[in-house]
Amino acid sequence: MKAYSGYTYTAVSAIAQEVASIQLKLFSRKFVGGKVEATEVLEHESLSVLNFVNPLTTLYDLIEGTQIYLELVEMKSVDMVNGWVIYAN
């Protein structure tokens, strides 16, 4: 965490705040007549878990902290494979 100071702090924080401000939406999809139809899901247990991480952490805080971590350890991407989160260098 020594790297998280000065210009690095400013740049990483700015990126993390932009990423955290993105409005996430959950969609369900189904195939109808060979085409994919996507419908926004407004109520789901996953949304509740994300929006209320714990009494002290909001979704914004969670995403901002994760992005700061990824920027500082030079992770290039995050993927979900079979329910597992994969961090790729």
DSSP string, 27-86: EEEEEETTEEEEEEESS-HHHHHHHTSBTTB-HHHHHHHHHHHHHHTT--EEEEETTEEE
62 in any annotated domain: yes
63 in any annotated domain: yes
pTM above 0.75, yes or no: no
Tens of pLDDT, residue by residue over 3-54, are: 667 888 888 899 999 999 998 899 999 998 989 999 999 999 988 888 888 8
CA 46 vs. chain centroid, Å, equals: 13
83/42 Cα distance (integer angstroms)? 22
Domain of 68 in residue numbering reads as 6-88
Domain count, the chain: 1
1 in any annotated domain: no
The residue count of the chain comes to 89
